[in-house]
Amino acid sequence: MIPSKHSISHGFNRIGANSLTQIRVHGLRNLHYNPNTVTVARSEEAHRRVIVTRRRPHWNYQQRTYASEAGASRVLPGSPRKPHFDKILVANRGEIACRVIRTARKLGIRCVAVYSEADHDALHVKMADEAYCIGPAPSSESYLKMDKIIDVCHLSGAQAVHPGYGFLSENAKFAERLSEEGIVFIGPPASAIISMGSKSESKNIMTSAGVPCVPGYHGDNQDPEFLFEQATEIGFPVLIKAIHGGGGKGMRTVIEATPDAFYEALTSAKRESLKSFGNDTVLVEKYIQRPRHVEVQIFADSMGGAISLWERDCSVQRRNQKIIEEAPAPGLSVELRESLSAKAVAAARAVKYAGAGTVEFIFDNDTQDFYFMEMNTRLQVEHPVTEMVTGLDLVEWQLEVAAGNPLSLDQSSVPLVGHAFEARIYAENPRNNFLPDSGQLLYLSTPTPTLTLPQSYKPSPTLISSNVESVAPTLVSYESVAPSVRLEQGFAQGSQIGVYYDPMIAKLIVHGKDRSEALRMLRKALDEYHVVGVSTNVEFLRTLAGNQAFIDAELETGFIPKHFHELFPPVTESAPEVLAQTALFVALRDYPKQQTSTAQSPWTSLVSRRFGGDVYERVIHLQDDTSTGEAQPMAVRIKSLVGGLFDVEVETSGTPVKFYDVSAKLISPTSLSITLNDKLSNITIVSQPPPPSIPASLSHNTMERLHVFSGERKTTLVIPTPQWLLMQGGDVLSAAAGTGALKAPMPSLVVEVRVKVGDRVEKGQGVIVLESMKTETVLRAGISGIVKVIGCKNGEMVQEGKELVNIEADEETKP
């Protein structure tokens, strides 16, 4: 069936093998696709009509395959450089797609975006010159569909594909398919992806080269019993790790040396790996107890050139995924830095690598030994910190190498200037085991970036000569570099953070003359990063950046659990000053006429007490979002005085606190100017109304939240649901309190229901497996008893708070 024609402001149909498909092309009104013929009609505003017809497979551009096959010998100095591509396709989404597009724009290269139905209004779609819908939201039906992406290449005339990271970036079959179609893969050859992208094969190669590797099993036998035997021989604890991909996906640590614990972790790791990378093969390694994660950024061209762009430290992680990275790695001696770089460059040359790659090492803090861990054959998420200390645009370098050009610098010319940090901002709840969150970005305010792309560094007039073959940084001084802030993001205010993809919202990057300055800038930038609509790790990152052990660079991958109590201090009651500020915001927001000098006082229409012609009183109740629904709300009593002043009394669990002659006014719907205790402050307060479909209850999800950003702290308060509304609507969501009810902790996909009605379960037994943001979570029984109700099924999408299973407690365990 042929769909009707629509303008680009209407819906789009997915690309199919035999269907006429509408696509979005910036600057064109209508464009429809037939697998064999493309017809383009330019908009009427162009004052002309141009019909372009192309037939597959005849494409009028030079055929190239991989970056490594673009030339056979090094280009001599002074030889003309090969031209860039005219148009590339970015086979990714989010911030990395936007990042690639920015560099391509700088170079005059047109960009083609692909997107799923869920990403119809995504930022990368708006930034690209053309954008094509390639399928439904699940990545297995869109971003991982090679045929659809290749079809778009032919349709759009894209000469090359930049895969970003994740999805198909380390898929050798995809690189081979592009080669067969005469399309350049902006990345290494398929042979290098296979050799170094496979964690098991790469370890075998490195072992043969004399590089020490972590003890483990890297073979093909995936029989669970055999793998458990290998784990027992290696010695627990062990790490189960997917041989393809990265980002902590398909990775599980097994502490308990029992078959049940091992098989559960193995099953979960394999399933997560298969969904994320299309391959469920895993390896098993000895788990080093106090490691640092240090990685070397390498770059190679197709003529045999290979250099190190120095190292990064990525030790601070949660769920085996990095959350803060820095370059260079602190505390490394010149000799160790040179040794790491030399081995990384040797690894690249061993597989005739081309393009950007990262060689990762584990550094044992106890023995001071380092071991090869894996090689990522793609651009890393954390590449901006390398860009900041070298002044090099790594995406531009990728495009140069893919076009067949040599590296533009030799090893001795690679700068190492200052220090840089990257903080990954995720939609997740750190106090709930970093569980991912989803929803709309109702409010987003960020620090002002000073850079959008890296700036190059100019050496000072006096250079110190060095050995060209050395892989240690040259002692060259550079012109002074101003501190800078950079922001890589793929979402804007109003964007939807869905459950189908990684929960990263943005990356915040800072650069300073040294580690202390960069860390100070990071703390300030995090103070200025405000998000409402989803839970984030921003406040946690701010706490981390101010932690003394982190300031002292006492780094290890177990940093978060080791310093857990410092990073997650007990939640204290909100300060009286914050409660006063919030209450005044509510009063002024609800009755904006109070802002005008001629307006009547807002309290005249309220059920309140009048003490005189000019004094009125209102009581506002507030509750900390971290408290339980049964906690007693705090009362804030406000009296309006003449001249826009207020007396405020805050009643908490302690002695009431009074503030007199407080000046306050709204300067925007989210900004309060207030003078409290003689201190003038501009406070950001953002309201988050409850979802209209959820009935009133004692659950904070059904109340209005007020997010208060004051200084370096964010406080979230709720306005309690009135008693009359609770009586009318019933406390639906808390009905199962005190029972064996298991509720969805976040919007999720039900992967596996492990029980059925009537089953007996023990406390701690896995009952439901959920997936959100490509991460699996196992819900376990909180009590022993009998399953009475199951409220979900495999494959079902469930909302946060939905009751999934109810367990009736045994008589002896009932309270």
Q: Which residue has the tokens 């296979």?
A: 194
Radius of gyration of the chain (CA): 29
Diameter over CA atoms, the chain: 92
**DSSP track, 346-361:** HHHHHTT--EEEEEEE
Q: What's the full length of the chain, in residues?
A: 815
Asked if the bond preceding 237 is cis, omega within 30° of 0, the reply is yes
Asked if the bond preceding 57 is cis, omega within 30° of 0, the reply is yes
244 alpha carbon, distance to own chain's centre: 19
Q: Identify the sign of the CA torsion 147, 150, 156, 161.
A: positive
CB 15 within 8 A of CB 134: yes
Choosing from 337, 378, 523, 705, the catalytic residue is 378
**DSSP track, 385-413:** HHHHHH---HHHHHHHHHTTPPPSS-GGG
Cα 385 from Cα 297, distance rounded (Å)? 10
Burial of 662 (0-12, 13-18, 19+ CB in 10 A): buried
CB 436 within 8 A of CB 426: yes
Cα 676 from Cα 648, distance rounded (Å)? 10
Cα 703 from Cα 697, distance rounded (Å)? 8
Burial of 235 (0-12, 13-18, 19+ CB in 10 A): exposed
Q: What are 361's strand-pairing partners? A: 294, 372
- Which amino acid is located at 787 in the chain? V
Name the strands in the sheet holding 504-512, side by side, starting at the edge strand that comes first in the sequence.
370-376, 355-364, 291-300, 306-313, 324-327, 419-426, 504-512, 484-489
Kind and range of the H or E element at 728?
helix 723-729
CA proximity to 307, closest of 318, 296, 321:
296
Instruction: Write the CA distances from 809 to 101, 757, 776, integer angstroms.
Output: 56, 14, 27
Q: Any idea what DSSP says for residue 66?
A: B
Measure CA of the first residue to CA of the last residue in the chain; give whole Å.
62
**DSSP track, 84-107:** PPSEEEE---HHHHHHHHHHHHHT
Work out the number of other CB atoms within 10 angstroms of the CB of residue 797: 12
Catalytic residue list contains 378: yes
Cα 712 from Cα 636, distance rounded (Å)? 24
Q: Which residue has the tokens 């200052």?
A: 418
Q: Identify the sign of the CA torsion 327, 329, 331, 337.
A: negative
Cα 272 from Cα 166, distance rounded (Å)? 14
CB 688 within 8 A of CB 442: yes
Cα 599 from Cα 566, distance rounded (Å)? 50
Cα 804 from Cα 753, distance rounded (Å)? 9
Helices (H), 534-642: 538-545, 548-551, 559-562, 564-567, 576-590
Q: Which two tokens stand for residue 218?
A: 């890297």
**DSSP track, 636-647:** EEEEE-GGGEEE
Q: Which two tokens stand for residue 654?
A: 């302690």
Q: Which two tokens stand for residue 301?
A: 């061209």
CA proximity to 240, closest of 212, 208, 272:
272
Q: Which residue has the tokens 């998420």?
A: 381
Residue numbers annotated as active site: 378
